[in-house]
């Protein structure tokens, strides 16, 4: 899997744990939503916790855990399933300030929207990486100077720019 940040492929510093794998004493680890409560109870001070959550997750199910998490990875099972974008916005509105990762079947054409919804990184499968190289992801990131959402990618939104122009 390739990890994209700021339009570039980067190394992943987080490690996804298998369901039966014990929680390590140190490092950055990602656990499943089913293991999250237990991982929070037993994790030591040297462990940074992340969770991988389906795009159908109720944000309220993560609310208590958000201050303890360094990463939330939202699964996109198909490029046409946009529920993960909504979940990302809701988590950012709830105050989550850690890394927000889109994981799964996203395409470069969706990258600017993912950033606008609050995602920091995108993890894509090898078959998509083979078809869409770093240049395409960077071009997609730079395709729009402004977004409809406020505050995540560019300062101000398209609506803010229109209001400013009308006032002048």
**Could you tell me the residue ranges of all domains in the chain?**
2-167
State the chain's maximal CA–CA distance in angstroms: 62
Q: How many CA atoms are closer than 13 Å to the CA of 14, on its beta-carbon side?
A: 25
- The secondary structure of 44-89 as a DSSP string is -TTEEEEEEEETT--HHHHTTTGGG-SEEEEEESSTT-THHHHHHH
Query: What is the residue-averaged pLDDT of the chain?
Result: 89
CA distances from residue 120 to 35, 115, 127 in whole angstroms, order as listed:
24, 6, 21
102-145 confidence digits (pLDDT tens): 999 999 999 988 988 899 999 999 999 999 999 999 998 887 66
Q: How many CB atoms lie within 10 A of CB 46?
A: 9
Cβ 74 vs Cβ 102: under 8 Å: yes
pLDDT band at 160 (very low <50, low <70, confident <90, very high): confident
Q: Report the pLDDT value the prediction gives residue 33, as an integer from 0 to 100.
A: 94
CATH number of this structure's domain 2-167: 3.40.50
């Amino acid at each position: 899997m390739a990890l994209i940040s700021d339009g570039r492929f980067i190394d992943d510093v987080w490690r996804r744990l298998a369901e039966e794998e014990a929680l390590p004493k140190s490092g950055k680890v990602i656990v499943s939503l089913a293991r999250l409560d237990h991982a929070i109870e037993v994790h030591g001070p040297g462990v940074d916790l992340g969770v991988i959550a389906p795009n159908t997750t109720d944000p309220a199910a993560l609310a208590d855990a958000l201050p303890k998490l360094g990463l939330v990875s939202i699964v996109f099972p198909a490029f046409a399933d946009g529920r993960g974008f909504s979940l990302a916005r809701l988590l950012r509105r709830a105050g989550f300030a850690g890394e927000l990762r889109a994981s799964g079947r996203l395409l470069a054409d969706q990258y600017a929207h993912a950033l606008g919804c609050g995602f920091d990184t995108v993890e894509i499968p090898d078959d998509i990486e083979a078809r869409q190289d770093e240049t395409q992801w960077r071009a997609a990131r730079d395709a729009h100077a402004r977004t409809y959402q406020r505050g995540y990618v560019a300062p101000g939104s398209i609506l803010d720019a229109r209001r400013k122009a009308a006032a002048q």
